[in-house]
Amino acid sequence: MSVITGARMVTPEGVVEDGWLRVDGGRIAALGQGTGPEPTTPTDRDLAGRWLVPGFVDMHTHGGGGGTVVGADPEAIRTFVATHRRHGTTSIVASLVSGAYDALEHDVRALAELTDDGLIAGVHLEGPWISPVRKGAHDATTLRTPEPAAVERLLTAGRGAVRMVTLAPELDHGLDAVRAVVAAGAVAAVGHTDATYDVTRQAVDAGATVATHLFNAMAPVHHRDPGPIVALLEDERVTVELILDGVHLHPAVARMVRAATASAAGHARIALVTDAMDATDIGDGDYVLGGLAVRVEDGVARLVEGGSIAGSTLTMDRAFRFAVDQAGFTVPEAVRATSATPARLLGIDGRTGALATGLDADLVVLGADLTVEAVMTRGKWSTP
């Protein structure tokens, strides 16, 4: 049992000053304000006014700490998970880049086992069903159209662990692939796409509910040809991923998206993601992503050939701070975008993503400057 007091606590209902929270059996057993209903229970940790927020949920990331998702080596995955956990991410999805079908099937099967073990929260297929025109840091030789048999093959290999599939709906069989992904219980995401506005709307009508890193690897907005960005941004059924590292998006664009997605329900349509690669927390140097050579300089990852941005070296705590300091988010809005919204999309909101009784005790302590001071995962403390 663990009791936390003196917290500036962000709950689904809002900010609770002088909050307390009790953990028992790895879950949140109770929470409230002031001394609480259990004054005889000793305090394990007095936060003295520091922020207490739910653990971050990253639904799009490729590696970290030198560990890469490609190959699905268990030790590499443990390194990847531990790296992001130090930065407050307590639930993480393993994102695979485009590859040959045999390699992808192998990795999906292996990652499904690690999902069963609870190490990761599922698998994200970012390709190979993406546009060669908007491929970004994907090997062009591995790109395919989403033939129904191939889609079924990889979804079946995941045994329900494939949580999200990013695809370009304008490809042959693209809209059918959206329907197949949704029918399998996964999220269909529109990304790495050259789709028109109309085709993108058809994809949303077919069940697509996520925009993979909005603006990046998409046809740009033109006043006579709005393309996928406008279609995704204006539809309230769609949640948009943002990579807030100061490289992928200008702060003004992030502020515009925040304003554009405001509704009576708040800013529930934004999910911050890292799109991080294995160089995260390692440093500058030469790396490989999906078989392509990548050079990281000043923390920015780019393909050696062509110079396309190749993921990021971002961590979720940095994205959180960027959202508040430069993109106009309030702290509760940043909490929603890093926890509740991605947890809902992944279907794990009944387990994590908020400070609420009965959920896993996945917690992050933030200082006044929003830096991570401590992390609790399923009731166990660690420090960065």
| Known binding positions for substrate | 137, 216-217, 224, 248, 309-311
Q: Are 82 and 89 in contact (CB under 8 A)?
A: no
The first and second tokens of residue 20, run together, are 């307390």
Q: Residues at the annotated binding site?
A: 126, 137, 192, 213, 216-217, 224, 248, 309-311
User: Could you give the residue ranges of the DSSP H alpha helices within the chain?
Assistant: 74-85, 101-116, 148-158, 174-183, 197-205, 227-234, 251-260, 316-325, 331-335, 341-346
- Can you list the domains of the chain with their CATH numbers? 2-52+360-382 (2.30.40.10), 56-346 (3.20.20.140)
Residue 37 pLDDT > 60:
no
CA-CA distance, 17 to 130, in Å (whole number)?
46
Q: List, for residues 103-148, the tens digit of each pLDDT value.
A: 999 999 999 999 999 999 999 999 999 999 999 999 999 999 999 9
Q: For residues 378 and 360, is the Cβ–Cβ distance under 8 A?
A: yes
Q: How many CB atoms lie within 10 A of CB 253?
A: 15
Q: What integer is the mean pLDDT of 81-87? A: 98
Kindly list the catalytic residues. Answer: 275
Reduced to 3 states (helix: H, G, I; strand: E, B; else coil), residue 160 is: coil
152-163 mean pLDDT: 98
